[in-house]
Amino acid sequence: MKCPNCGAATLVPDTRDLPYTYKDETTLLPAVTADWCPACGEAVMAMDESQRVSQAMLEFNKQVNAGLVDPDFIGTVKRKLQLDQREAELAALKQAGHALNEQLASRGVEPEAIVAEFEQARKAGRLQPGDPHDKKTR
Ligand SMILES: [Zn+2]
């Protein structure tokens, strides 16, 4: 079978990692089974494989657009590490919230009361720098 892209070479069936670049971010799509052109690098895939690869490309595009891509990580390893990192960030957030609650409680302040006050201030449009109580009379 001749290459549909350059028409020059005979395609070689193989399973390779396919480099894919989107907006200057490059990843490797792992274990892509296709007929590869040794001249221009074109990969001719079966329908199923083609769908799987476009899906992986779209997924990568989404990650790039969301700013989630770290160039140090590649493929599934990258995805796994990002999940771990997200969990770590969540845990840190929870811890910070917990510490804040404890601080407030140690001063005899109910966190719920503070939240309620902020919410009231926000609704009344007086969540400004400075003491909101100054602006009570409008
Ligand atoms: Zn070719």
- From first to last of the 138 residues of the chain, give the pLDDT tens digit: 889 999 987 999 999 999 899 998 899 999 999 999 999 988 999 999 999 999 999 999 998 888 876 655 555 665 666 667 777 777 777 777 777 777 777 777 666 776 777 777 778 876 665 555 555 555
Distance of CA 54 from the midpoint of ligand 1 (Å): 20
End position of a domain, from candidates 49, 69, 89: 69
Structural contact between residues 12 and 35, judged by C-beta atoms closer than 8 angstroms: yes
Say yes or no: 90 and 65 in one domain: no
Q: Identify residues whose C-beta is under 5 A from ligand 1, the ion.
A: 3, 5-6, 37, 39-40, 42
Distance of CA 57 from the midpoint of ligand 1 (Å): 21
Say yes or no: 43 and 12 in one domain: yes
Beta strands in the chain (DSSP E): 12-22, 25-36, 43-44
pLDDT at 79: 61
Say yes or no: 5 and 25 in one domain: yes
Q: Does residue 138 lie within any of the structural domains?
A: no
- For 90-124, b/e burial (b = at least 16 CB within 10 A) is eeeeeeeeeeeeeeeeeeeeeeeeeeeeeeebeee
SS3 42: coil
Distance of CA 70 from the midpoint of ligand 1 (Å): 31
